[in-house]
Amino acid sequence: MKCPSCNETLLMSDKNGIEIDYCPNCRGIWLDRGELDKIIERSATHYSSKDNYGKDQERYSQRDQEYQQRSQEYQKPYHKKKGSFLGDIFDF
């Protein structure tokens, strides 16, 4: 099967009994009929247990905090542009 976006041959991967087609070129993921329903169903059963929800929340919130810390290190300081005479008339 060919990728609808870039016409590259799709590769197939099996994740927990669900066959997922993906493109190695554009990294697009393509699902056949019913595969998205299976993914949603399995995630609903996974998160129906409060223990699983708590574990995933801790894991992903820690990853988000690390990402925010790294992104703050690379932020450039804000420099305001020189104002014009229109700035006195209008609020920009």
The pLDDT tens digits of the residues spanning 60-84 come to 777 777 777 777 666 666 666 666 6
Per-residue confidence (pLDDT) for residue 75, from 0 to 100: 65
This prediction's pTM: 0.46
Using one digit for the tens of pLDDT, what is the confidence trace for 40-66?
A: 888 777 767 667 666 766 777 777 777
Mean pLDDT of the chain: 78
Within 10 Å of residue 3's Cβ, how many Cβ atoms? Answer: 19
The CA distance from 16 to 19, in Å, is: 8
The CA distance from 89 to 92, in Å, is: 9
- The phi and psi torsions of 48 (rounded to 5 degrees) equal -70, -25
The proportion of the chain whose per-residue pLDDT surpasses 90, expressed as a percent, equals 7
The CA distance from 38 to 40, in Å, is: 5
Q: Which residue has the tokens 């059963």?
A: 45
